[in-house]
Amino acid sequence: MSSKIERMVRTWDDPVLKQVCTAVEPGDKLDFVEKLVMVAKKYRSAAGVTAAGLAAPQIGIAKRVIVTNCRNTRGTVATRTMINPAIYARSLETEVAEEGCLSYPGKLKRVRRHAWIEVSWLTLERRPMSQKFSGFEARVIQHEVDHLDGVCRVGDDSPDDVDVIDESAPFTADDAKALSGEPNVKVIRRLSTSAIHRTAILAAVLAAGIGGKGRHS
| Residues known to be catalytic | 144
3-state DSSP: the chain helix, strand, coil percent, rounded to 5?
Answer: 30, 25, 45
Closest by CA to 153, choosing from 85, 106, 107, 94, is: 107
Integer Cα distance of 90 and 166 in angstroms:
10
Q: What is the C-alpha separation between 106 and 112, in angstroms, rounded?
A: 19
Please give the C-alpha separations between residue 20 and each of 13, 30, 148, in angstroms, as whole numbers: 15, 18, 6
DSSP 63: B
Distance from C-alpha of 97 to C-alpha of 120, rounded to nearest angstrom = 24
| The dihedral formed by the CA atoms of 167, 173, 178 and 181, expressed in degrees to the nearest 10 | 160
By CB atoms closer than 10 A (0-12, 13-18, 19+), residue 207 is exposed
Burial class (CB in 10 A: 0-12, 13-18, 19+), 160: middle
Main-chain phi, psi angles of 124, to 5 degrees: -60, -25
